[in-house]
Amino acid sequence: MQTIRVDTPSAKYDVIAGGGLIASLRPRIERVVGKLPRRVFVLTSAPIWALWGEAFLSSFAEPPVTLFLEPGEKYKNLASIERLLREMAVAGGDRGSLLIAFGGGIVGDVGGFLAAIYMRGIPYIQVPTTFLAQVDSSVGGKVGVNLPEGKNLVGNFHHPRAVFADIGVLGTLPERELKAGLMESVKAGIIRDRALVRYMEEHVDQVLARDAKALEKVISASIRMKAGVVNKDERENGLRMILNLGHTVGHALEQTTGYKLLLHGEAVGWGMVAALYLARERGTITKSQFERLENLIYLYGPLPALKLRIPKVVAATGGDKKNIGGVRRFVLPVGIGDACVVEDVAPAELESAVDYLLKQTAERPS
C-alpha cells in the first residue's frame, strides 16, 4: 500500500494505491470527510457496476444513489452533464452531498466536473478503475468535458478529497486498456523519472502480466511524479504543462478519428512518437535516446494503425487548450527524465513529425 500526498495552495489530500480498497471504502471515506452526509451519489458506468458494484456496496450501510454514464468519449459532453445534474436535483442532492466517481478517466472527469458545479461545488472522491485513471486523470483536480471543437475545452479545477486506486480492479481490465494506460506511465518516466523508464524497460513482462508488485511500483511512481508537479504548479501556469507530452498531437488524432478508433492512451502513445521525432530533429534528445524511448512505447503496444491526412491532423492541433493567442505549445523531452515547453514549432516541423508517426503506424502491426 502506497500513500502519496498532494499538497497544493488550494487543496491537500492523499492518493492511496494498493489492493483491497473498494471493499473497505466507506470507513476510508469517513476517515477523510467524517460521517457520511444524508445524500451520497456514486457516478459509474454499467460495465464497471456489473463487475464491481457488489464489492463497492459491501461496506455501505445505506447504498448511495447510483448515477450512470454511458461508456465512451462521445458521452463526455454537456448533454450528459445536464442530465446528471437534474438527476442529482431530483434525488434531493444539496450542498452537503458527496459524490464518488467510480470508473475510468471519463467517469472521473465528468464526476469531478459535476461536483465542481452542482450547488456551486460539493466534495467528491475519486475511485479510479482503469490504469490510466489511476496514474493520471484522477490526480490533480483537472475536470471537464469535451466540445465538438476539441477535447476538455469546458472544465474547471476541483480537487477530490481523496483518491483510492485499488490495484485489484485491474484484473478485469481488458488488455488493450491496460496497455493504453501504461502510455501515461511511459510519459511520466520520459518527462520526470529516469528510474521509472529503466524499471519499465527491465520489467515489461511482469507489468504486462499484472504482477501486483510490479503494478504497484509503476502506479505509485507515476502518481508520485504527477503529484510532485501539481504541488509546484497547481493551475498549469508553467511546469505542469510538461504533463501534456504527447497530448497535442494525441488529442488531434482523437478528434480527427471521431473519438472512435483510439483509446486516449493510444493517442498519447502516437503523440509521444511525434514529440520524440521533433525532439530528435531539434537536438533536445540524441539519436540513441530517441530510439530507446520510442522502443519503450512499442514495448507496451501495439498501437492501432492510422490512415489520416497530414493537414487534417495538423489543423486539429490548433484547437488544443494549451494554445494561447494562436501559438501552438508543444512539450518536448530534454534527455531522459526532463522536458520543456516550446512555442516556436513551425508548421513544416509539425507536418514532418505527423508524417513520421503516420508512417510508423503503417509499418508496425497493430
264 assigned to active site: yes
> CA 287 to CA 242: how far, in whole Å?
21
85 in the same domain as 138: yes
The pLDDT score that the predictor gives to residue 126 is: 98
Say if residues 316 and 256 touch (Cβ distance below 8 Å): yes
For the domain that residue 303 is a member of, what is the CATH number? 1.20.1090.10
Choose the final residue of a domain: 147, 172, 197: 172
Count of positions (residues) in the chain: 366
Looking at the structure, do residues 264 and 187 belong to the same domain, yes or no?
A: yes
CATH of the domain at 88: 3.40.50.1970
Annotation marks residue 87 as catalytic:
no
* Residue among 10, 22, 101 at smallest CA distance from 56: 22
Tell me what pLDDT residue 260 has.
Answer: 87
Q: Looking at the structure, do residues 59 and 85 belong to the same domain, yes or no?
A: yes
By C-alpha distance, which of 292, 286, 281 is closest to 350?
281
Strand partners, 143: 156
**pLDDT at residue 151, rounded to an integer:** 84
Same domain, 125 and 33: yes
Q: Indicate if 152 belongs to the active site.
A: no
For helices 264-282 and 347-363, angle between their N-to-C axes, nearest 10 degrees: 120
Domain that holds residue 229: 175-363
Question: Which residue among 172, 188, 207 closes a domain?
Answer: 172
Instruction: Spell out, as residue ranges, where the chain has pLDDT lower than 50.
Output: 323-325
Do 236 and 271 lie in one domain? The reply is yes
Q: How many domains does the chain have?
A: 2
- 213 and 314 housed in the same domain: yes
Please write the tens of the pLDDT for every residue from 172-231. 999 999 999 999 999 999 999 999 999 999 999 999 999 999 999 999 999 999 999 999
Q: 26, 142, 158, 179: which is the annotated catalytic residue?
A: 142
Q: How far apart are CA 115 and CA 361, in angstroms?
A: 39
Q: Which of 26, 226, 280, 329 is catalytic?
A: 226
The stretches of the chain forming alpha helices (DSSP H) are 25-33, 46-57, 78-90, 105-117, 131-132, 175-192, 194-202, 204-208, 212-232, 247-256, 264-282, 287-299, 310-316, 347-363
Catalytic residue selected from 184, 234, 254, 266? 184
Of the candidates 146, 172, 198, which is a domain's last residue? 172
Q: Is 120 a catalytic residue?
A: yes
pLDDT single digits (tens) 217-235: 999 999 999 999 999 988 8
Same domain (yes/no): 135, 228: no
3-state secondary structure of 348: helix
CB of 6 closer than 8 Å to CB of 159: yes
Are 341 and 205 members of one domain?
Answer: yes
- Is there a single domain that holds both residue 163 and residue 312? no
pLDDT recorded at residue 365: 65
Question: How far apart, in Å, do the first and last CA atoms of the chain sit?
Answer: 35
Catalytic option among 158, 179, 192, 264: 264
Active site residue 240: yes
- The verdict on whether 146 is a catalytic residue reads no
184 is catalytic: yes
Predicted local distance difference test score (pLDDT) of residue 328:
73
pLDDT score, position 362: 83
| Catalytic site includes residue 203 | no
142 annotated active-site: yes
Give per-residue burial for 108-128: e unless 16+ CB within 10 Å, then b: bbbbbbbbbbbeeebbbbbbb
Name the active-site residue from 26, 76, 217, 251.
251
